[in-house]
Amino acid sequence: MKIMIVGSGGREHAIALKLSESDQITQILCIPGNGGTANLPKCRNIAMNVGDFAGIARFAGVQGITIVVVGPEDPLANGLADYLQAEKIPVFGPTKAGARIESSKIWAKELMIKAGVPTAQGKSFTKSEKAKEYIASQAAPLVVKADGLAAGKGVIVAETQTAALQAVDELTTQGFTTLVVEECLTGTEVSVFAVTDGQTFRTLLAAQDHKRIGEGDTGENTGGMGVYAPAPLVTPELMGRIEREIIAPTLNALKDKQIDYRGVLYAGLMITPTGDPKVLEFNCRFGDPETQVLLPLLATPLEKILAACVEQKLEALPPIEWHPGCGVCVVAAAEGYPGKYRRGDEIIGVDAAEEMGVTVFHAGTQSRQQQLLTSGGRVLGVTAIGEDFTAAVNKAYGAIARIEFEGMYYRRDIAHQVLPKPEPETTPSPAIEEADADPTASNDLEAE
């Protein structure tokens, strides 16, 4: 098989690495790829823009590509899958109509409400004044979302009405013309992925992402600063509910609209304090950085899953299997991210980190004159697999400490919420100590 991967992030590096390990894969072409995919066996980067649909289709045809895997949301939302399908080129990724589940929060919300999928209550606005009037009538906290693609950063959680009003101004200044204001769901966030051929689906392991830039889940939202899997919160019973109440009705609603959805449906969920799953948002592709922990744990050959989805034979695929253990990914970001960030700084220590048994996924890197340089906000993802979360966390942080570039930043609390709590120290009471020291001593105050 020959695979083409469209994209340049850590997700695409993880997909390429997993496929490169298979004897069934003879060649992998990455458009445009990054500094990590450039050094993978069987893999070659092609300097082509992901928006050059005609060029991608032409090159895939000439090279005899078996499947094109579209990683990022932008080309899917702009219709790359539609273009490739029209050229009779097999593609893993939904059509433009299906990608609206991520590219338009209003469209996705209407789809969920009609399908009876549990989600936050809210309203959409095309005028900032109306959005502000609505905010003034609601109790904080509130969530203000941009109705469009925003690389995971178009969501602002406002703890006060004042902050929500400022969020409207901020997103409007960024050029978003339509906003959604929602109630703020509380609980624990999880990411659940379903691969689908448009007829049936299979869920993957649940993961827990860390969206905020600061430790303790503080600061601005990002594309993700780290992740761990499998998420202990999502028991088999809860996954069953998610499949029945969220994944199945959503895919049925897409099918009812005659939408050809072959690829990944990514559900960002909030598990409420009562244990109920509710949808925060849907995405139309693999998550980043979730893919960097899910694929190393995947035992079933990835190309078999991709082919089953593309050929609409997923129902015949044996159950997806997983390696034992836990995965943790810690993201190293450039100074200034998620705002304006540095670029072009030399990265050192990647080889030293990988000597510790981790995989370093390249998210925002490029090779230039035999140097590895930063080229994105999220630069690297250091992924460790261990027999438990303690082993995985220790390995990941031990390895990332060997990597250096100017202004490098990473959170130091990824997955710490699932680590065993330390046993409280116990100190013997003075009375016990005295008794131990002198068995004849009395604790009777009157006798003393």
Please report whether residue 243 resides in a domain: yes
Please report whether residue 104 resides in a domain: no
Q: What is the CATH number of the domain that holds 125?
A: 3.30.1490.20
Please report whether residue 41 resides in a domain: yes
Q: Are the C-beta atoms of 99 and 77 separated by less than 8 Å?
A: yes
Q: What is the CATH number of the domain that holds 12?
A: 3.40.50.20
Q: How far is CA 381 from CA 78, 224, 331, in A?
A: 27, 10, 4
Query: Same structural domain for residues 343 and 263?
Result: no
Residue 291 to residue 358: CA distance in whole angstroms = 15
Query: Same structural domain for residues 63 and 86?
Result: yes
Nearest in space to 329 (alpha carbons), one of 254, 224, 253, 257: 224
Q: For position 426, what pLDDT does the model report?
A: 62
Query: Same structural domain for residues 223 and 246?
Result: yes
- Residue 95 makes CB contacts below 8 A (sequence gap 6+) with 79, 81, 82, 85, 259, 260, 261
Task: Look up residue 222 and give its amino acid.
Answer: T
Q: For position 447, what pLDDT does the model report?
A: 31
- Which of 316, 338, 372 delimits the end of a domain? 316
Query: Same structural domain for residues 226 and 275?
Result: yes
Residue 232 to residue 251: CA distance in whole angstroms = 25
Query: Same structural domain for residues 177 and 197?
Result: no
Query: Same structural domain for residues 302 and 237?
Result: yes
Q: For position 201, what pLDDT does the model report?
A: 98
Please report whether residue 100 resides in a domain: no
Residue 40 to residue 382: CA distance in whole angstroms = 17
Query: Same structural domain for residues 282 and 197?
Result: yes
Residue 244 to residue 94: CA distance in whole angstroms = 21
Please report whether residue 105 resides in a domain: no
- Which of 131, 148, 183 delimits the end of a domain? 183
- Cis amide bond preceding 230, omega within 30: yes
Query: Same structural domain for residues 201 and 218?
Result: yes
Angle formed at CA 406 by CA 36 and CA 35, multiple of 5 degrees: 10
- What does pLDDT average to in each consecutive run of 10 residues of the chain (448 residues)? 97 98 97 94 95 97 97 96 97 97 92 94 88 89 84 78 91 87 92 97 97 93 95 97 98 96 97 96 96 98 98 97 98 96 96 97 91 95 98 98 97 96 65 43 33
pTM: 0.89
Please report whether residue 220 resides in a domain: yes
Nearest in space to 392 (alpha carbons), one of 323, 330, 322: 330
Please report whether residue 353 resides in a domain: yes
Q: What is the CATH number of the domain that holds 406?
A: 3.90.600.10
Query: Same structural domain for residues 295 and 217?
Result: yes
- Which of 288, 316, 344 delimits the end of a domain? 316
Q: Specify the number of domains making up the chain.
A: 4
Sequence length of the chain is 448
Domain boundaries, position 407: 326-418
Q: For position 177, what pLDDT does the model report?
A: 84
Q: What is the CATH number of the domain that holds 287?
A: 3.30.470.20
- Residue 440 makes CB contacts below 8 A (sequence gap 6+) with none
Query: Same structural domain for residues 49 and 81?
Result: yes
Query: Same structural domain for residues 177 and 204?
Result: no
Query: Same structural domain for residues 59 and 175?
Result: no
Please report whether residue 362 resides in a domain: yes
